[in-house]
Amino acid sequence: MTQTVLITGASSGLGEGMAREFANRGCNLALCARRTERLEQLREELEGSHPGLTVKVRALDVNNHDQVFEVFQAFRDDFGQLDRIIVNAGIGKGQPLGAGKFRANLQTAETNFVAALAQMEAAMEIFRAQNKGHLVVVSSVTAVRGMPGNVTTYAATKAGLAALSEGLRVELAKKRSPIRVTTLYPGYIRTAINEKVKNTPFIVDARTGCAAMVKAIESEKPELYVPGWPWTPLGFVLKRLPVGVLARLF
């Protein structure tokens, strides 16, 4: 049976890359983002290169929380059910705390955490009604520790997402629910969000990174670093480094 995958933030970056990878695997797609012209271009491309594939697109500003619920429900109505929802939309506008850039940090927190909470709520309403589904939350390798400077707020939001996901997994396990929840911790993958970041060790191109993400998603494991090498061992080490060592590294 053909699966249907909903991806937020699908007009560029990791969302766009994952859409292409899932299309290659024969999945129907529900794609949403603010920039509908780019979504329409992507829809035409994917339906043209994959005959028989159904791609639906809708405008969505994830900071409009009511719209999140409306768009997710509309996609569910389009396809009858949603098999997988990927909470991907996010920004990287953080600044050092106390540098007079509170608005940038506030926007990062609202988009990466509060808006993601709305997406998770909307997804779980659908999955609970279906009694099945796979929720995927895109966190970051920066979530494993507090990070300095421009990354402080960004990393904190991604850590918050990881905690939300884990709490949800505990609840679902307690209820023996068939619903699955996966947290992804991507390392550095070259997209517009990090093109100006200077310190990006072990960075991979978007196609390589998105292929690794989709492979990890399809495993439905609870938590995964992507690409697995070198980020799985690095994530283990980062969690245990003393603060003084972290300060020298970052």
Q: Which residues are catalytic?
A: 154
204 phi and psi angles, rounded to 5 deg: -125, 160
Alpha helices in the chain (DSSP H): 13-24, 36-49, 65-79, 102-109, 115-130, 152-174, 206-219, 228-238, 243-249
| Cα distance between residue 112 and residue 161, in whole Å | 8
102 and 150 Cβ atoms separated by less than 8 Å: no
| Cα distance between residue 71 and residue 31, in whole Å | 10
| Cα distance between residue 129 and residue 127, in whole Å | 5
Question: Which residue from 27, 82, 77 is spatially nearest to 55, judged by alpha carbons?
Answer: 27
The vertex-124 CA angle with 85 and 212, nearest 5°, equals 30
The vertex-118 CA angle with 115 and 122, nearest 5°, equals 145
DSSP assignment letter at 146: -
| Cα distance between residue 200 and residue 150, in whole Å | 13
